[in-house]
Amino acid sequence: MLKIVFLGSGGAIPRPCRELPGVLIEVDRYRILIDPSEGTVRRLESIGVSPLKLTHIMVTHLHADHVNGLPGLLATMLMLNRVTPVTVIGPVGISDFTPTPINSSFRINIIELKPASEITLIESVDNLELRYVTTYHTVQNNSYSVTLRRPIGTFNPDKARELGIPVIYWRRIQMGETVVLPDGRVIEPTMVMSNVGNRSLTVTYTGDTSPGDGVVKLARGSSVLIHDSTYLPNDAKEAESRGHSTCLDAALDAKEAGVKLLILTHMSFRYGYEYYWDFLKCAGGIFPHTLTARDNMIIEI
């Protein structure tokens, strides 16, 4: 199971109905926080998640409303006597926000990502894969995908033995990988598996971006696309000039990418909670499987 918690669904200026942006993704033993805005520690506490449980912190870009909570979050981990490493991922310059505390009890692994026009693998651990592509904003913005790979079908060990496939390859094949054996034979999953299908779960998070090919490529076939929806269509010119998307842009990206669920987020402070349905109706007319994010909303897939 993969769980998504919206810590904040607003834009650069918070309102009582919408906190600054932030999303927590829980999958297997991993806790991935995307965009640690100001007040993140308090919001994690409100949902019962200790900063000590976080394994990854991913920053889309270095605007204040997406990264200003990072130093305080790391300081809180130090005060709570964290001992396990934490991985911080972000664009060029993220290391400036992650100074190593004096007498730190834990290690901070920093992965600084250069701009990438093609989808790029960041990390693959256990059944978890993290990828990014740089999308259009006023500064470098990395859109991220988080993929949980699961067995793609029913594995037949008798067939595997009959074909002389060493046991060390079984898991890789079960997870959908085509392997090349030491004798040169190529083994496709369908050769030893039945009921083969796509069992991966992917969440794509755009950060702040205008619509475009990068988002669509990264989100292709995603279970959930969390898309910048800062503006309603009547403010489309402002959205374009500031490197953001409207709810209509988000719906068109979701439709082209063939995602299963679209969630609109990062709504501008100018829209109070009474505009909730305006965003939903706008996007839902193009892409029916749409939700408008609310603070503390939980999605499980």
CA distance 174 to 192: 9
CA distance 245 to 251: 10
The closest of 256, 260, 152, 287 to 202, measured between CA atoms, is 260
Q: Are strands 141-148 and 154-155 parallel, antiparallel or unpaired?
A: unpaired
On whether the CB atoms of residues 294 and 9 are closer than 8 A, the answer is yes
Tokens of 42: 């308090």
The closest of 203, 148, 201 to 34, measured between CA atoms, is 203
CA distance 238 to 185: 56
Task: Identify the helix (H) or strand (E) that includes residue 97.
Answer: none
Residue 213 appears among annotated catalytic residues = no
Of the candidates 28, 35, 65, 228, the residue annotated as catalytic is 65
Cα–Cα distance list, 205 to 42, 132, 142, 168 (Å): 22, 9, 9, 34
Q: How many CB atoms lie within 10 A of CB 259?
A: 24
CA distance 166 to 137: 48
User: 27 in helix, strand or coil?
Assistant: strand
DSSP 8-state class, residue 116:
-
The closest of 223, 221, 276 to 247, measured between CA atoms, is 276
CA distance 40 to 217: 30
> Which residues are bridge partners to 120 per DSSP?
132
Cite the active site residues. Answer: 65
